[in-house]
Structure 1
Amino acid sequence: MPDPISRGPAVTRRTALALGGGGLLAMALASCARGSDTRPSAPGTVTLNSDNPTWGPGYAAASAVLAERIGYRITSRSVASVANYGQVIRMTAQTDSTTDLIKWTNGYRLQDIARADILTDLNPVWDAVTERGWVDPAQRESFSYRGKAYGVPLYKSYYAVFYSKRAFAENGIAVPTTFDGVMDAAQTLKDAGITPFLSPGATTWEAEIWFMQLLASIDPDYYKAVTTDEASYTEDPAAQAMDVWSEMYGNGFFSAPDVTSNDLPGLVGKGQFGMMLYGTWFANTLLANGLTDDDIGFFRVPPRGSTAPAIVVESGSLSVPVKAHRHAAAVDVAENWLATDVQNAWVGFLGDTSPNPQALPESDLVKDLAKDITATRPTELTRYWEASPTPLVEGNVADLGAFMVNPSRANGTATLRSMEDRARTEWKIWNAA
């Protein structure tokens, strides 16, 4: 889902302390539930700070199961201003205004606040949930910093291709099992007068989607290396990705820049939609807009050539501030959050996949994809938005958005040079902090 964290510069430990006495802290505290965040919640509850008010019913459904398991429910509180959510968490987690749990992201965005010593080490929790089979242990790395885990997965989404079953059936297209097959399907749809790919994002976070997927399909090991400062953006896999992306634009495979993901339900009804590469969290939105499993399917983007299969994963973090009022209860909730019965209730609301491979949503749309992933076990890659330090990612995503407006091969080369220049600067800053 769209990342809620402020797009502004990351607040480091030093700047957080500097901001703590100023107007930003006052604004942050005012954004929280008035007065109630400075004292413990009612008995039998723990508080959760979130940026998504629409998830309240989901937390309630999961909490009903948690209450039966451990005697505690989650009371969720949403920050009024999504744009300020990141600053609110950074400030309140250091004071008695903190909630017992916080919703955050994983990867480097989690590492950034873990360096401020405001989150609880959840290594014992990970040991317990891994032993019970409630989570894939491979996920632990993206929730850890210097050997300590600072959150458990709040949710888990994959990036895969939504496709119109009607458009595929009417044009004799089978679900592709190779990367070339995806391109062939796109050409067939174009020849039929259907825009092959809905591709939003020239001015948003979505500009990362095709770049990260092409790298994942071309060389997942390189993807992990370039996002962790072990490779250059000017190396061959990135050049291949930009060339393929440029060629797809040249072939007329993408929608106009002003088309958004919210247009998808209407385009399906008009028979004008072919495919869209997006997060599985969007499935619930489509179903809520009247589409069914008969209208829309999902498939995992196959690898290019002989590359091993890989898939991009987005996840949020359920973390416990060190200063949580009901600290022990919050840790207990974090440990039981991934229990299969709790997750069944949670994904029953989300309509998405779960960090717990034993929990599946009711809709076949996502369930079939989850079963495919379980069977094929592709390498799971952290979403680009969380895979590197925040200023680096946000600057590079802006560059990728500019490429989408002018997707020539020459501009692809120039874009990678700009991304590499930024990487050299931002990794120095990150490593020096």
Structure 2
Amino acid sequence: MPHPIPGGPAMTRRTALALGGVGLLTATLAACARGTDTRPSAPGTVTLNSDNPTWGPGYDAASAVLEARIGYRITSRSIASVANYNQIIRMTAQTNSTTDLIKWTNGYRLQDIARADILTDLNEVWDDAIGRGWVDPAQRESFSYEGKAYGVPLYKSYYAVFYSKRAFAENGIEVPTTFDGLMGVAQTLKDAGITPFLAPGATTWESEIWFMQLLASIDPDYYAAVTTDKASYVDDPAREAMDVWSGMYADGFFSAPDVTSNDLPGLVSEGRFGMMLYGTWFANTLLAAGLTDDDIGFFRVPPRASSTAPAVLVESGSLSVPVKAHRRGAAVDVARNWLATDVQEAWVGFLGDTSPNPAALPKSDLVKDLAADIAASKPTELIRYWEASPTPLVEGNVQDLGSFMVTPTKAHGESTLRSMEARARTEWKIWDAA
């Protein structure tokens, strides 16, 4: 689910062509010899390429239900390196070395390969899933390009605040319902000697988390506009977001830049953890580390102003079918049934996360309660920044945001926005011309 920043820019269709298709194809096919096959898989199975080796048991659980529904199971093949995986999929999906299904992302990263004409149109699959109430129709746009859907949601995660129930109880803190209240909680925790916010990301994709959340809390419409080239990064909402972020650093609300999300379980047990804004997919990691629903809870970051509509950031992967899939018809049938409630119950039972299908919930009350809150309050759902704009633009901007986290002054915030805007002018021209 998370996507670390690779050593260089992610491979795009433009850079693949620039590097020379034959040499790159040879290298990538060699790198994925164990992940793909030029022959169809065993009868009754469809193959899936994934970049998450730990999800095998989850695919097995979902496959048991799929087999009963349609007679096919998923055989998953994993490539652990995200950078290698991206390159391999871009090349093998155009050849007979492709798997029947691929795990990808949504948004512009999906559009980038969809416009290369290597994925199957799944509009009919979406029509069926929407008609059965298996998915929110609003999600369709982020899986589509020029009116055609090229994937279905593989998973769905929200970005919300993990908090220490112990730290809150010992300091008489209630879950905040306003942004000012959230800042008040942070100050109370700091005064008690507890780090208010664990904030990883100075050198990873995670540097986007607070930036995207502050934009969403200040003006959800602006967030949607700036990520689709309809607004500027130097407009007032972005300046306000950077000023608030810088001010939170000046107030001592964030952890040191070298602290990571992996430190959270230990900090909870030591009573030195207050809150962390993160994806709900991380809940299962914490529960596996020995924490329980009694240790941690979730709440959404409130809007900065009472007049602003609430919004929540959403991360989702894509389950897509290459045009050259060996068992293309069966793969489409798997995609058609992937969002069925019984399949999703088995899947999220493994993930411990929310589902694209609102009727499928994991066992943990930690995530169930957040899902119930979102279902009741119906905040505007915004696509995560990582997928919300063209890849080179996002990855360059994320590196700028990481630099800001190391030196989070107001002046650096202003120069960061200018750099992001300059990059946006360049990358949007490249995207539009491709």
User: TM-score over 0.5 for the alignment?
Assistant: yes
Q: CA deviation at 1:30?
A: 2.2
Unaligned runs of 5+ in 1: none
2:313 matches 1:312:
yes
Aligned to 1:39: 39
d(CA) in 2 for partners of 1:17, 1:238: 35
Matched, 1:127 2:134: no
Distance 2:416 2:158 in 1: 26
**Cα distance in 2 for residues equivalent to 1:221 and 1:424:** 20
- Structure 1, residues 273-304: CA drift from partner, whole Å, max 9, x if none? 00000000000000000000000000011111
1:195 aligns with 2:195: yes
Q: 197-206 vs 72-81, which deviates more?
A: 72-81
The 5 Å alignment of 1:27-426 reads 27-34=27-34, 37-79=37-79, 81-305=81-305, 306-426=307-427
Partners of 2:406 and 2:12 in 1: CA distance:
33
SS at match of 1:155: coil
Matched residues in 2 for 1:293 and 1:229: separation?
Answer: 41
Unmatched 5+ stretches in structure 2: none
Partner Cα separation in structure 2 for residue 277 and residue 19 of structure 1: 38
Q: What is the aligned residue count?
A: 433
Counterparts of 1:112 and 1:240, CA distance in 2: 31
Decide whether the 8 Å contact of 1:46 with 1:330 is kept in 2: yes
1:166, distance to aligned residue in structure 2 (A): 0.2
* Equivalent residue letter for 1:150: Y
- The alpha-carbon distance between structure 1 residues 277 and 67, as it changes in their structure 2 partners (threshold 3 A), is same
Listed one character per residue, the Cα deviations across residues 172-203 of structure 1 (whole Å, up to 9, x for unaligned) are 00011111111010000001010100000011
Query: 1:95-127, CA deviations, whole angstroms, 9 ceiling, x for partnerless residues?
Result: 000000000000000000011100001000000
In structure 1, distance between residues paired with 2:325 and 2:22: 23
CA deviation profile, 1:226-256 (whole Å, cap 9, x unmatched)? 0000000000100110010011001000001
The 2-side partners of 1:37 and 1:288 are apart by 34
Change (3 A) 1:35 1:390: closer
Pair 1:209–1:80, CA change in 2 (3 A): closer
Paired residues of 2:47 and 2:74 also in contact (CA < 8 A): yes
CA contact (8 A) 2:39 2:326 kept: yes
- Structure 1 partner of 2:428: 427
The letter for the 2-side match of 1:189 is L
- d(CA) in 2 for partners of 1:4, 1:403: 18
Give the partner amino acid of 1:139: Q
- Mark the CA change 1:212 to 1:22 in structure 2 (over 3 Å): closer, same or farther: same
TM, length-normalised to structure 1: 0.98
Aligned counterparts of 1:408 and 1:86: Cα–Cα separation in 2? 35
Q: What whole-Å deviation, never above 9, does each CA across 1:138-161 have from its counterpart, x for those lacking one?
A: 000000011110000000000000
TM-aligned CA distance change 1:176 to 1:191, over 3 Å: same
What is the SS of the residue equivalent to 2:206?
helix
Q: What CA distance in whole angstroms lies between the structure 1 residues aligned with 2:349 and 2:16?
A: 38
Query: After TM superposition, what 4+ stretches of structure 1 lie above 4 angstroms from structure 2?
Result: 4-7, 17-21
Give the deviation of 1:3 after TM superposition. Answer: 1.6
CA RMSD of aligned residues (A): 1.4
Q: Are the aligned partners of 1:103 and 1:316 in contact in 2 as well (CA < 8 Å)?
A: yes
User: Distance between the aligned counterparts of 1:414 and 1:181, measured in 2?
Assistant: 29
* Deviation at residue 216 of structure 1 after TM alignment: 0.4
Could you state the TM-score of these two structures normalised by the residue count of structure 2? 0.97
